[in-house]
Structure 1
């Protein structure tokens, strides 16, 4: 017998156990679905009390959910300490689950039911009759469906965190897909954002709806995205409205080679309007953008750095 082989029965059991661990850890989500954004959507690892404690946004997600349901009264610190552990035990006891203080598959399944109710066919809203377009408002965390120029329906959504913002701008739906995996709910609506893959999708963290929680995508309750999916088609306009730059120039990033995002995109649009950028804005600070900025700086007696700083923003109209 090879040092790496197992008896037949034990080998099968080991394989099944390893497969379950792989799937539950979220690696399966990455491998099978190649998630386009929000990598934390795939994270469904078990959480329990240990030293040092689990910490991070994943823990804070559960703290927020338990707080909303009245089981957690502590600080939202993203640390799986005694208060979080005891809150989980209270939730488990209240729902007749094994009381162990661990967030596992069974606990997560029950927790999700509080937030994401299925959409019954008989209650499905009849769709818009005219041209459909969407507006996403970052500040209010809402997605508005327009039927021609009239508001048809409004949904609560989750948007990107401050460090991973949802791309602001005018986009189109370029892909529709079903059942991308547990982390992305049952529907995916891809956006035409040129510097990365972003979309509107469901979630395995329904308690995050209404907050800044994602890596840039727009999360919806699964029941809502299933409804929306039927109303939009490829090419549907999606306008994301929000503040791209901090009000104070001192708080803005110095944009340079390799940066990506809505801020770069808007700078490129301004440079194109001014005749300095010939290529189509793509939100990526590459050679063409650097050359355009350098030419602008040279023409207006600024130091020629190829970077957009506190002096260049107002000079180009931003």
Structure 2
């Protein structure tokens, strides 16, 4: 018998148990659907009162949802402590669920119903007749659909958190997919962001709509993204509008090798405009960008570091 063999019957039972554990964990979502940008979208684990307590963005999302519904009055600290536990019990009691203070499948199912939009009509809104383009406004958390140059419809969305911002810039839709993974709702619209996989998608956390909640993707109510899905195609323009850099130079990052994001992308655009960068911007601070910065620094009598610092930002027009 090999070290991996099991007695007859028990081996099958063990395999089935392991498969179920794997499937209902986030690992199944990753393996089956290759999720693009938001790892916390994949699955929602059971949460309950324990020591040490559960903590993180997932807990904070639930606190936010319960606060919105009037069940939670504490701080949005992302810690599943006594206040959160009691808020969950109040929610369960109010909705005639088993009162155990645990966020489980039954509780989550009822919670979602409060946030999903009702079906207003059996027929969908007729789509735009002209050229469709999209604008996403980070500050207001809205997505605007344009029919030629006229506003056709506006949706509320969730955008990236401050530490995982939604990429600002001019993009295109490059891929459409249905039911890509449980955490991404019912539709996926991939964007042409060169330094990572980002997109517009549905969500299994509808209470997050209208907030900064994602790892960079743009979340919509499932019903909304299903409607939008029918109006766009690969090549549709998507403009994401937001502030990339802090106003004060003192608050800006020193950009160096290995950095990636909208800030790097805008630096590359400026270097390209100034004639120092020949390759297309890709949002990744690699060898070509470093060489371009060094040449700019040398030409303008700056210390040749290859980094973007408080002196280089204004010098290149940022």
Q: Distance in 2 between matches of 1:203 and 1:169?
A: 23
Deviations 1:76-102 (A, max 9, x none): 111101111111111111222211111
Shift of 1:251: 0.5
Q: Distance in 1 between matches of 2:313 and 2:186?
A: 42
Q: How many residues align?
A: 318
Q: Distance in 2 between matches of 1:118 and 1:8?
A: 51
Change (3 A) 1:227 1:112: same
Contact 1:24 1:44 in 2 (8 A): no
Q: Distance in 1 between matches of 2:13 and 2:118?
A: 35
Q: Distance in 1 between matches of 2:258 and 2:56?
A: 27
Deviations 1:121-172 (A, max 9, x none): 6142110010000000000000000000000000000000001100000000
Which runs of no fewer than 5 residues in structure 1 stay unpaired? none
More displaced, 117-126 or 170-179?
Answer: 117-126
Shift of 1:8: 5.4
Alignment match, 2:50: 50
Shift of 1:20: 2.9
Q: Distance in 2 between matches of 1:201 and 1:119?
A: 19
Shift of 1:22: 2.0
Contact 1:173 1:191 in 2 (8 A): yes
Change (3 A) 1:71 1:7: farther
Shift of 1:283: 0.6
Q: Distance in 1 between matches of 2:61 and 2:279?
A: 41
Deviations 1:166-187 (A, max 9, x none): 0000000000000011100010
Structure-2-length-normalised TM-score: 0.96
Alignment of 1:236-251 (within 5 A): 236-251=236-251
More displaced, 247-256 or 100-109?
Answer: 100-109
Structure-1-length-normalised TM-score: 0.96
Change (3 A) 1:99 1:16: farther
Q: Distance in 1 between matches of 2:132 and 2:93?
A: 46
More displaced, 256-265 or 89-98?
Answer: 89-98
Deviations 1:190-235 (A, max 9, x none): 0000111100000111100000011100000000000000000110
